Amino acid sequence: MGYKSFRIVVSPFGAVFCAGFGYFWRMKNAEFVDRLSLAEMGENRCGTVAQIEGDSRFISRIVSIGLTPGSAFTLLKNDGRSPVLVFCRDTVIAVNHKESSQIFVKVEL
Partner 1 sequence: MSEIKTIALLGQPNSGKSTLFNNLTGLHQRVGNWPGKTVEQAEGSFVFDGVTYKVVDLPGSYGLSANSEEEVVTRDYIQSGKADLVCILVDASQLERSLYMLADFVGIRMPVMLVLNMMDVAEAAGKKIDVSAIEKRLGVPVLGFSAAETERYPEFFKKMVSAIKTPVCLDSGSLREEFVGEKSNGEDVVSRIEVALGDFEYGVCEKIWIAEKLLEKDKLICGVVNEMLPFARKNAIDAILDSEEGRDGGILTGEAKYRWVSKIVRESATPKSIEKVFSKWDRIATHHIKGKFFAFGIMVVSLVACMILAFPGMGIGFGMQPVLQSLVERAGNALGVWPVVISFINLVLVGGTCITICMTSFIFAIIFVFRILEEIGYMARFSYAFDNWLSRLGLQGKAIMPLFSGIGCTAGAVCGTRVLDTRGQRLLALVLLWAIPCGSKVAVVLFLASTFFGSAAPLFGIGYVALIFASFYLSSRLFGKKLVPQNERVGMIMELPPYHKPHWKMIAAMVGRSTWGIFKKALKMILMVAALFWALSYAGDGNVENTLLYKIGNAIEPVTMFFGMRWELFVSYLGGMFSKEASLGIMSTLFNHTGEAFSLVTRVAASENLGEALASTITKPEALAFLFASMFNVPCVLAMGTTYREAGSFKWLATIMGYYLALSLGLAFIGYHIGLLIF
Q: Which residues bind partner 1 (CB under 8 A)?
A: 52, 56-66, 68-71, 74, 76-77, 79, 81-83, 85, 87-99
Nearer to partner 1, 87 or 106 (CB): 87
Q: How far is the CB of 109 from partner 1 (least distance, A)?
A: 19
Taking the C-alpha atoms of residue 6 and residue 14, their distance in angstroms, rounded to an integer, is 12
| CA angle, residues 21, 23, 26, in degrees to nearest 5 | 110
Nearer to partner 1, 15 or 65 (CB): 65
User: Would you call 102 helix, strand, or coil by DSSP?
Assistant: coil
